[in-house]
Each structure stands twice: as C-alpha cells, then as structure tokens.
Structure 1
Amino acid sequence: MIDLTGIISISGQPGLYKIVAQSKNGIIVESLADKKRLNVYASTKVSTLTDISMFTTGDDKPIEEIMTSIFEKEKGGAAIDNKSDDKEIEKYFSEILPEYDKERVYVSNMRKLINWYNALQTTGSLKEKEEAKEGEEKTKTVKAEEKNKVKKNPTKDSSKAKTSVGVKKTTGVRKTGTA
C-alpha cells in the first residue's frame, strides 16, 4: 500500500504539502511541487490524505488503497490527465475502483484524486508502506516476547526516609514562613 503519512491538502491552496515541523501557531509545510515552505495556522482547514476515503457500495475505501490500485495499474507511471473528458475519467475510475458509489462520488472528486496521484508520482513521493509494516511486525513480536518473559519482583526497600530530630516530614505541604 502507498504510504501517505505526513502529506496534506490545504483548503484554498492548490497542490499537496508535506508536514515539516510544528510551529507556535500551527504547522510548517513544504509544497511538493516547488519545495517552498509556508506556515499554516491552526485556524486553516487541513486534511491529511490518510484520513480521506471514497464512498463505495460497501464500506468506504481509503485513498491509500485507491492510489495503490492506480500505481499497480499504471506500473508506477502517471495516470491519465485529470483534465480529460468526463466520460474518460469515469471509465478510468471504474477500472480502478469498480464498486464506487455512482451517486455520491462526483467527477470532480475523481479529478482531484487523479491530480493528487499525478502530483505524488511526478515528485517521487509514492512510497510503498510494505517495508514499514514488516518492521513494525518484527518490533511487535519482539515486544510481545519481552512481555511473556517471567519478570522477577524486586525486593521492596522497607527502610523509611530519615528525618532530622524534631523536624516533621511535610511532603506536599506548602510552607508560608509564618507561624
């Protein structure tokens, strides 16, 4: 599956952006097209591509899976032009996702998805998520094995904290300085 973590779409801004850092008032992003950085304020509407999905006749399908099917169909190459005829786009999209909901998925949505795929493909940002999953599975199995190991209970230190003679221990009490 294609890895789209850290890639966002900003409402009112063309293109896709990659999250670079967090700032005091929002996030700093870098445009995938021209590598310019800009500050996106917390009040701006931002959508991460991993959170977006498309309507199907069954369960909604995440964009990552749809982009993976485009990647496999095109063998890593570019998809059709997003400015093609409506019928061509519908035909192409039905080859990629045959079970899409024809009443709720509009041609504009298909164009936007194809535009995003082509933008990611031209910048070389289409990366497979398989390597990360295998690494996570290995670490999960290692952590599970560590949990299954028998843990020895350390002996509790029964000695109490020593205080000087005549001084009360006042843990968590605020001293005002006046008596």
Structure 2
Amino acid sequence: MNLEKILSISGKPGLYVLRVQTRTGFVAESLSDGKKITVNLKSNVSLLSEISIYTYDGEKPLVEIMEAIAVKHNYGQAISHKEDNATLLAYLKEILPNYDEDRVYASDVKKILNWYNTLQSKGLVVEETAASEAATEAVTEESVVAEKPKKTKTVKE
C-alpha cells in the first residue's frame, strides 16, 4: 500500500491525491469525486505516509496499521467508522494491541477506518506482492517492446 501522495486537507472532507506542485502551493484531486482543487502553502495538509499512531513503545506508522487492517479483512472493506466508540477502540486493540489508550481517541480510529475504507473502495489497498508483481510485469512488457529490432533502410548500390 502506497500512501506517498495521499493527502488529508484540514477543513476539506475526504482524501486527495497530490497531482502537481506549483509556485504558491499545489493541485490536488479528490478521491471521492475527482475534482481538482488548488491548495496554498498556508493550508494545513497532512501526508498519510507521515502520520503515526502513538503506542507504549513509541509511534507506529499509519501505513503499517492500514496494512494490518487490510490483512485482517483480506484486503476488503473494514468495519464502518460510524460504529460506537467502544467498538472502534476494541477494534483498534485487535489491530494494534499496544496503542496508547491515553493519547489515541475514538475520533482518531474513526479517521483511520474512514480513510482505509475510502482507499479500499478506490482500489488503492492492494497486497504489496501483487502490486510489485504487476509493476514488474509492466516494466518487463515495456522492455520487450523497447527491444524489438528497428527497421533499417538499405541503400541500393
């Protein structure tokens, strides 16, 4: 699962994909409706790849937590983010047994599950080995096409 260009923009619902960086900010595309918006540098923007969850041992990257959710549900949809708080915290306890109960709130779990289900519905939650195999096949196909002999002109004498 690659979260490198997935953004959460404060004050805007849903997730966005970083498309183009500009002089004054960047252009992002909404995952929900595909509309492009411009975001200035003063906006509060979080890359999902940079987010971590507090544990008693330190911090755990969000990508690892989402990968654990994906494995638990066989890369399908997780439970709804609209469940009651006790259910959400119990669910997180299954996924991440040593999360810091004093610093991680039910609202955090709601965001994580909402983001996961959004990414999953858009086909962005895939098994790493399958994704790397698909990328390898694409590169192999490109190199096969590139290796075809070019026609050369022969000059008649």
Secondary structure of the equivalent of 1:102? coil
Secondary structure of the equivalent of 1:27? strand
Residue number in structure 2 paired with 1:120: 119
Report the TM-score when normalising by structure 2: 0.80
Aligned residues: 133
The structure that has the greater radius of gyration is 1
- TM-aligned CA deviation for residue 24 of structure 1: 2.6
Runs of 4+ with deviation above 6 angstroms: none
Secondary structure of the equivalent of 1:3? coil
Secondary structure of the equivalent of 1:9? strand
Pair 1:83-2:82 in alignment: yes
Aligned-partner residue type, residue 91 of structure 1 = A
Does the 8 Å contact 1:8/1:18 carry over to 2? yes
- TM-aligned CA deviation for residue 40 of structure 1: 0.5
Report the TM-score when normalising by structure 1: 0.71
Q: Which runs of 5+ in 2 are unaligned?
A: 137-157
- TM-aligned CA deviation for residue 16 of structure 1: 0.4
Q: Deviations over 1:17-54 (max 9, x none)?
A: 00011123110000011110010111111110011000
Q: Is 75-84 or 120-129 further displaced after alignment? A: 120-129
- TM-aligned CA deviation for residue 129 of structure 1: 4.7
Aligned-partner residue type, residue 68 of structure 1 = E
Aligned-partner residue type, residue 10 of structure 1 = I
Pairwise CA RMSD of aligned residues?
1.7
Does the 8 Å contact 2:78/2:117 carry over to 1? yes
Summarize the Cα distance change of 1:46–1:129 in structure 2 as closer, same or farther, 3 Å threshold: farther
- TM-aligned CA deviation for residue 86 of structure 1: 1.1
Mapping for residues 13-162 of structure 1, pairs under 5 Å: 13-129=12-128, 131=132
Does the 8 Å contact 2:75/2:126 carry over to 1? no
Q: Which runs of 5+ in 1 are unaligned?
A: 136-179
Secondary structure of the equivalent of 2:69? helix
Secondary structure of the equivalent of 1:116? helix
Does the 8 Å contact 1:56/1:100 carry over to 2? yes
Q: Deviations over 1:100-120 (max 9, x none)?
A: 000100000011101100110
Distance in 1 between residues matched to 2:127 and 2:45, nearest whole Å: 24
Distance in 2 between residues matched to 1:25 and 1:56, nearest whole Å: 36
- TM-aligned CA deviation for residue 125 of structure 1: 1.5
Does the 8 Å contact 1:7/1:18 carry over to 2? yes
Aligned-partner residue type, residue 49 of structure 2 = T
Distance in 1 between residues matched to 2:95 and 2:55, nearest whole Å: 12
- TM-aligned CA deviation for residue 78 of structure 1: 0.6
